[in-house]
Amino acid sequence: MIAIVFFGYKYLLYTEKKEWGSTSRLYTDVYDLKSLVGKMGITNFFLEDTFKYILRSKLITAKDKSFLQDWGKNRQPVKASAGKYFGAEKGKNVIIIQVESLENSVINTEMGGQEITPNLNQLAKDGLYFNNYYTQVGPGNTADAEFSTMNSLYPLPDDVVFIDYAKNIYKALPQLLVKNGYKTYSLHGDVPTFWNRSNIYPQLGYQKAYDLNDYIVTKPVGKGPSNLGDEDLFFQSLPRLESFKQPFMATLITMSSHTPFILPDDLKTFQLPTDTTLTYEQQQYLQSIHYTDKAIGEFINGLKKDGLYDNSLIFIWGDHGSFTNITSALGNQNNVLPELLNSQVPMILLAPGTNLKGTTNIPSSHLDIYPTITNLLGITTPKSVLGQDLLNTKNPSETHFKLVSGGVDTILTESLAYQASEDGLFIHGSCESIPNKNILPITDCKNLYNEQSNAVKASNIIIKGDLLSIVAK
Ligand code: GP9
Ligand code: MN
């Protein structure tokens, strides 16, 4: 009987629908484990979880392990210390704002003479603005953005790391900061079981997580039950930050600009031109992001008033795209490669102590947050980090993996762009020069492809085999 269930499950697992990445689950509503258990019943959940656990332990072979060992030995990890700006912000608080569905194309863009994100535009001027920065998320969306920024590893193409690899050993940024005398907090207005956060946060080193239960919803925004508006999130988080013992790390994750972008009418303050050709969904998105921008502006002003601004390193980024095709609709002003149109998000670094300013278009991504922070704080960067220190990298690049298969999809450097074909075979892909977009012989991208596909593969093996220790030594 058990064998029938086991092989039946395995069969279903490999034949399930794969359109939206894959969560390797029979049930599609895996976002909130509590509601999943409610739907399936505890016995079914237990059986499903046990089988998945057994299957997972078979995913990584001895060959994979030896690949990882060799890769770990031969690669050049990011310089652990002594780069430019190393320790320039030593002892500063780290405040992170991960913004729901914030795309880069809305930054510095006007419609009918009105800025879509006036506050973020100002912050982009006040700090260092990365306008060629990308998100690489798999089926875990927001959770994958959190995972990749906090671990500098790629998320998985076919599974939600936060859910199925929550008990792995990580060397996450909050953990490292705790070792360096920081208190670490997460502040997000959802139920704590969403994306399994209540289980993985302690594993990543968050000492305390504020969730929906810790906030008062004064005005519902978005789809319930998690309908804490961003103004409530920021307004009620500010006194908390003020009360934290310094130095602290606080990660705030917004939610109001989440699809389907439902905003009460009186909060829709963006004046869309009457003759707009945007779809209804795109219009709703702009309203929502305009509201979130206002909430961020108020929060930053609060930080300035209470003195935290000058004593903190502040990072703001979009978690992933909005899935509304807004970048194309706004005219793709940043000339984003077609295959990356929905993945370009802004990243703004405010380092008042160092006064880093300007706009940079180096190819960069969520993987780069970790080493950039450790460098600025003067903390040795662990070898497990896959990203680049954005203030020191000599060969900036960013890489995307294919959903489900996990093969390399797109690689971008300052001079080359590689785009894989449907079948994923290297030679069927295309190699172009950047910025001119001239077609080059495919062999011009060979070294880059090998290096990046090995890194993506290594990252997958690390997670699926719980093998971080192999490369972290
Ligand atoms: C849920 C919120 C949204 O807590 O972060 O997650 P998403 O659906 O964007 O992955
Ligand atoms: Mn999200």
Q: Are 173 and 205 in contact (CB under 8 A)?
A: yes
Q: Is the dihedral of CA 264, 267, 270, 274 positive or negative?
A: positive
pLDDT of residue 5: 55
Residue 167 burial by Cβ neighbours in a 10 Å radius (0-12, 13-18, 19+): exposed
Left if phi > 0, otherwise alpha if psi is -120 to 50, otherwise beta: which for 401? Answer: beta
Q: Determine if the pTM surpasses 0.85.
A: yes
How far apart (Å, rounded) are the C-alpha atoms in residues 32 and 101? 19
Ligand with an atom nearest the CA of residue 141: 1
Integer angstrom CA distances of residue 81 from 136, 247, 378, 450: 26, 21, 7, 27
Q: CA torsion, points 199, 205, 207, 208, in degrees to nearest 10?
A: -50
CA 30 to ligand 2 center in whole angstroms = 15
pLDDT of residue 2: 54
pLDDT of residue 23: 44
How far apart (Å, rounded) are the C-alpha atoms in residues 465 and 56? 8
CA 145 to ligand 2 center in whole angstroms = 8
Residue 78 DSSP class = P
How far apart (Å, rounded) are the C-alpha atoms in residues 277 and 371? 42
Neighbours of 10 (CB within 10 A): 13
How far apart (Å, rounded) are the C-alpha atoms in residues 229 and 295? 9
Q: Which two tokens stand for residue 121?
A: 């535009």
Cis peptide before 363 (omega within 30 of 0): no
Cis peptide before 273 (omega within 30 of 0): no
pLDDT of residue 58: 79
> Collapsing DSSP states into helix, strand and coil, what is residue 29?
coil
Give me the CATH code for the 93-389 domain, please: 3.40.720.10
Q: Which residue's alpha carbon is at the smallest distance from atom 9 of ligand 1?
A: 142
pLDDT of residue 224: 65
**Phi, psi dihedrals of residue 146, rounded to the nearest 5°:** -65, -45
Q: Is the CB of 314 under 6 A from ligand 1?
A: no
Position 429, amino acid: G
pLDDT of residue 15: 44
Residue 213 DSSP class = G
How far apart (Å, rounded) are the C-alpha atoms in residues 93 and 292? 23
Q: Is the CB of 196 under 6 A from ligand 1?
A: no
How far apart (Å, rounded) are the C-alpha atoms in residues 430 and 435? 15
Domain coordinates in residue numbering, the chain: 2-56, 62-78+401-471, 93-389
Q: Is the CB of 255 under 6 A from ligand 1?
A: yes
pLDDT of residue 20: 35
b/e sequence 301-340, b meaning 16+ C-beta within 10 Å: ebbeeeebbebbbbbbbbbbbbebbbbebbeeebebbeeb
Q: Is the CB of 322 under 6 A from ligand 1?
A: no
Residue 65 burial by Cβ neighbours in a 10 Å radius (0-12, 13-18, 19+): middle
CA 190 to ligand 1 center in whole angstroms = 8
How far apart (Å, rounded) are the C-alpha atoms in residues 301 and 182? 24
The residue among 233, 323, 292 whose CA lies nearest residue 107 is 292
pLDDT of residue 53: 79
**Residue from 20, 31, 96, 188 whose mutation best tests the ligand 1 pocket (most atoms within 8 A of CB):** 31
Residue 228 DSSP class = -
Q: Is the CB of 147 under 6 A from ligand 1?
A: no
- Matching residue, tokens 């997958």: 460
> Collapsing DSSP states into helix, strand and coil, what is residue 131?
coil
pLDDT of residue 144: 98
Position 100, amino acid: E
Position 3, amino acid: A
Q: Is the CB of 141 under 6 A from ligand 1?
A: yes
pLDDT of residue 51: 79
Q: Which residue's alpha carbon is at the smallest distance from atom 5 of ligand 1?
A: 142
pLDDT (tens, 9 = 90+) of the chain, 473 residues, equals: 555 555 555 444 444 433 333 444 555 556 787 777 877 788 888 888 887 778 877 789 999 999 999 999 998 877 777 689 999 999 999 999 999 999 999 999 999 999 999 999 999 999 999 999 999 999 999 999 999 999 999 999 999 999 999 999 999 999 999 999 999 999 999 999 999 999 999 999 999 999 999 999 999 998 766 899 999 999 999 999 999 999 999 999 999 999 999 999 999 999 999 999 999 999 999 999 999 999 999 999 999 999 999 999 999 999 999 999 999 999 999 999 999 999 999 999 999 989 899 999 999 999 999 999 999 999 999 999 999 999 999 999 999 999 999 999 999 999 999 999 999 999 999 999 999 999 999 999 999 999 999 999 999 999 999 999 999 86
Q: Are 448 and 416 in contact (CB under 8 A)?
A: yes
pLDDT of residue 77: 78
Q: Is the CB of 142 under 6 A from ligand 1?
A: yes
Strand positions, DSSP E, 131-170:
133-134
CA 188 to ligand 1 center in whole angstroms = 10
Q: Which residue's alpha carbon is at the smallest distance from atom 7 of ligand 1?
A: 142
CA 112 to ligand 1 center in whole angstroms = 31
User: In the chain, count of helices (H) and strands (E)?
Assistant: 15, 17
**Residue from 29, 195, 197, 345 whose mutation best tests the ligand 1 pocket (most atoms within 8 A of CB):** 195
